[in-house]
Each structure stands twice: as C-alpha cells, then as structure tokens.
Structure 1
Amino acid sequence: MENHNILSWNVRGINKREKQRSLRTFCYLNKIGIGAFLETKLRGNKIEEMMTSHFVGWNHYTGSANEGRILLVWQANIVSVEVLQDSDQFIHAYVKELGSSKEFCLSFVYGRNTIDEQLQLWQDLSRLSFPVNPWLVAGDFTAVFYFNDRLGGRDVAAMEMVDAQRWRSIGLVDELRTCGSHYTWSNKQAAEARIYSKLDRIFKNEAWLDLFPQSEAYVNWDMIYDHCFCVIKTITTLNLGIKPFRFFNMWADHEGFRETVLQNWIKPIKAHGLERIMRQLVRLKHILRKFNIREIGDVVHKYTVAKENYQSAQCQLQKDPYSANLQREERSAFGTFSSQSRYYDSYLRQKSKIN
C-alpha cells in the first residue's frame, strides 16, 4: 500500500493497557495500514475500549466464531475493507486502497492445534471466493511445513506436515520473500527447555506480485511477546524531500529547552511588530531542529541500537539455545532495551498525536 504496510502478529492477550499502547506505537512506527492481532483474548466491550482509547481513526472486525482469536484492524482513511468469509480459524477480506486503483484479497489465519481442525483449515482455504485475483495469506498456522521448523523439544514428525504440504501442493500460493528470524515462536524457557518453532508464515499468489512486485515480509522479535511480528512491506520508501517542521511537547520537559529558546529569542532582529515575531519564529524553528537532532536524536539512536542488539541476541540464542553465555547476553540486551524504551515511549506518544 502507498506508504503503508500489513501486519500479522500473535500477541497472546492484550487486555493490559500497556500492551495496547505498545501495539499502537508499533503500528505507527511501522506504518501499518491494515493488520490482524491474533490470540487477543479481547471480547465485547473490551475491544471497543481498546479501539476508542488507542486506535482513533481505525476500524475493526471480529466475528462471533473468532472473537478473542482474530481482530482485523485497518486505518479508515487508508483502505476500505469488506469481510467475505470467516470462521474460528481465519478472516478473509476484500481490500480496496482509497485514492488508488489497487485492490486485493487478504486472509489472516490463526490455526487450531489438532490435526482434524488443521485439516478443516486447509480445506476452507482452498475453497475461498475471490472478487479480485491478488491474494495474500498471513498468520499463525500452528502447523509445521518442514523438518527444520522446530528446534528443541521433540523432532518434527512426517505426519505433522502431510496436510499442510498437501495444501501447498495445490499451487494456489507460495511463500513471500522473507527476511529476519527463521523461527517465529519460542516458549522463552531457559537452558535445555528452550524450544523454537516456525509457526507464522506469509503466502502470496502470482497476481499479488504483479500488484506489489517489491513486497517482502520482515519477521522479528519484539520485547515480551513469544511470537515474532510479521510486517509485509509493499513498496520501497521514497525520499519526498524536506519534512515539515513539527513541534513536540516533550521538548519542553528537557532540561536544556528553556535556556535554548530564551537565548535565541532575545537575539536582535532588524524588524518590528508582527514581522519581527515571524522572523523570530522562523529562526527558532531552525534552532529547535538542531536541538532535536542533538538532544532528542540521541535517545532515538540509543533506543534503535538497543532494540537491534536485543533482536540480534535472540537470533543468536536460537542457534545455540543451551549456551549460558548467549542466555546472559540475551538477558543483558533485554535489560538495556527496556530502560531505553521508557525514554523513547514519551517521544513516540507525542509523535503519534501529531500524526
């Protein structure tokens, strides 16, 4: 989508406001236009409360069969959505981009655990209706497709893959190009009890690539969640030139803000009345931009580096999950990331309100 991406994420319960706020921030930072939260455990009024409090300007859908399991959300000014079919294991929708001719079908999956229930999912997915040809399927399938889809615990058995591979062999879709973590779920336990599995996947058909030839999925870990997020990027970001000036209220809380403003405000300007005020504001705008880069920019950089280090530590631990050194490095990286995220969160809240 034009400057907006697609999200699929098993969030394993989002009743707490802290998790809801973190999801809102994540969607803003990753330019999510439409997505699905899986295993939300939210029902009835709880869904409305979250959307009203944290997702202003977004629409949502959850069916009676999948309430608490799949919550479809989208920005009302970005896309229009029509749900075509749903069950306790998926939501299948027609999506039209507003202001463009692009339209496609999008299915979000949260599979059940038993073989019989998974077989029903594959049968349902093979019988979906399509008003347009481009199709993307994303979600937590709770199923393995290959022998290397699990690390730790019991080995993958051939019978676990039969139905999934049979659905793949129909030829309706194949996997979208993906970067990031290979495994998408972990039980987060220590030492020899640690297990990794690849349960979350993104599939597309050929018509999808005709519509979004540069699309790819980015899969990685984020903070406390035991499932990776899956962000489907549809286009390459373009450089649109100089960004407009935006004032962030959080600047006023910085210890050096007042002094910076006063020092530059009292400098003489050869003008009078409203023209003098206008020139002072123009000059102050440039001063505050430099202030943001020098002071606030450091916080952003530290947060980004801390997050990348934590994600890298998680990926390294997957390669040798029983290594005591790697486990210590993961815990240390998580601690640094947690402390930096507290400073960064106030900045994100301000930026979210402005946009």
Structure 2
Amino acid sequence: MSGIATSKTSFFRSNYEHVTLPAVYTFVFIIGLGANGWAVRSLLQKWKILGHINVFLLNLGVANFLFLPTLPFLSAYYFMRNKWIFGDAFCKITRFCFNLNLYGSIGFLTCISVYRYLAIVHPMRMMGRLTVTLSVAISVLVWLLVSVQSLPDMFYPKTSANNTHTNRTEKCHHTTSTEYAENYLKYSVGWTLTGFVMPLLILLGCYGHVTLVLCRKNTINKVVKQRSLRLLFILILLFSVCYIPYHIFKNLSLYSRVLIKHRMRPTWDEGVFCAHQISRGLVCLNSVLNPLVYLHVMDIPLRQLVRQFYQMFSCLSLKTALCNSFYIILLTIIVFF
C-alpha cells in the first residue's frame, strides 16, 4: 500500500471509526430506546385492534431491544480507539445481539410484507387462516432460523491483543481475526444468501405483485393504496440505507483481507475499507427506522411521535436552540409521511 493510502486510512480511522461511529451509536441508543419504547407501548394499547400482524410487530421490537443496550459498550470501545475492556465472553454476546437484531429485523419485516401481500392480493384466502397461534409459530421459527444462522459466528475468535508483546485482550472484532478470515468469508457469503438475499427476493416479489394489483384495480380504496405504497417506501429505505450496503461491503472487506493474507493487496482495498466502516454506522440505524413500520401499521402520524419527543426534551429543560433545530429537522424528514 502506498504511503498516501496508508495515511488516508489512518485519517479515516481516527476521524470516523473513533469519533463519528461512537457518536452514531450514542444517537441510535438514545433515539432508538425512546422511539421503540413508545412504539411498543402504543402497540400493546392497540393489541386487539391491529389483528395478528401485532405478533410480528412485537417481535420486531424485541429484536431492537436485544441490540440497543449493547451500544454504550460499543461506543466506549471505539471511542477508546479499539480497546475492549469488557472481556471475551461479553464481546461475543455483543456481536451475537447485533446479529439477532439485524437478521431478526429482516425476518420479521419479511413476515409483515407477506402478511400485507396476502391481505391485499388474496384477502378471501387469508380470512380465518392466519391465527394468533400460527403467527406465534412463525415467529418462533424465525427466531430459530436466525439463531442457527448466527450461532457459528460465536465459535470464531472475536478478541485479540492490539500489542503482540502482551496477552491483554483489547480488540473486539466485528467478524473475526485475519487468521480465520478465509473460512469466515465462506460462512459470511452463505449467511448473506440465506439471511438477507432470500428474504429480500421474497419482499421484492410480494411488493412487486402488490404494486401491480394496486395499479390495475380501481376498486381498492385510495387510502389502502397510499398506505401500501408508503410501507413499500419505508422498506426500500431500510434495505437501501441499512442492509444492502452493509452486506456488500462486509463481504468485500473479508475478501480483501483474504487477498492481503496471501500477499495480494487489491487496489480497491482502501475504498472498500472506508465504505465498510460507513455501512457499519448505517446498519445500526435500522433500530431507529424500524419504528416507522410500527407507526405506519398502527396508522399513527409521525408528527405525533416527534411532538412527544419535543415535549420530553422540554420537560428535561433541554429546550434549547439545538433541540429546536433537531425538531425542525425531524419535521422536514417526515414531510413525505
């Protein structure tokens, strides 16, 4: 690698990985806990009204709450320049919770998409068939599949010493150490295909068909059309921002590490490294964006959530110019909803 490239990597690592990434994790922790807590409470209040889809929504919330409590530890880790002080076992638990959140969210978003597809395209076939028992059984199956996919990750080494002359465990790897990168790449590709690509194809198939039905049938209520298209927009946003970049650059980064291990450093290593670090910040935003699905399904205006957040800040005596700016930014974002 050239001196310029090495300097670029060091600059990016010191400014993004050790400053921006901890800030993103802190933001997601605060906003994610508030938004998901409020959404789950609203879900429980409307439990009987929503129907059987509430089971999938509740499990989506559980997936978020499994990951959010680990964010302060990850923020501290990156802020301290990759010094993990919480032990090997907790490092593996933290990474396992991230995977449960990521692939659990993808799984339950897929279930919600299939549910909406059946409700719009095959409403007569669906009536009376999707019971609470079946919804619970499907949810248990999703958790089992996600756990089986994520469990092998626990058996790869997750920690190593930053200083080779000491035995202190300091690094907590997102994937694994370079020594096992080749085997981990094979596992990661298979995991991506089963845990991400297949649900994505199912989701695209469902909403592709739904879009055709909505465009062709004039008998479908205009409000139903608008809500379905909005949900499609939310899911496209989630996958485009959070999931697709992460999986692409995670596997490319692993492949680059394998090539470097065999002394064949690719010319695109620098770009992939930077893109992968950015995608790691973006993927955790799913815990902030997932509540949009709750709000849409429960037909709660997003403005109402923003207003309650603003009132919460006011009660904490944080009604400053910064809070007002944050409120204005959120109102600008929700103009599409």
The answer to whether TM tops 0.5 is no
Larger fraction in strand: 1
Q: TM-score, normalised by structure 1?
A: 0.24
Larger fraction in helix: 2
Larger RCO (CA under 8 A, 6+ residues apart): 2
Structure whose alpha-carbon radius of gyration is higher? 1
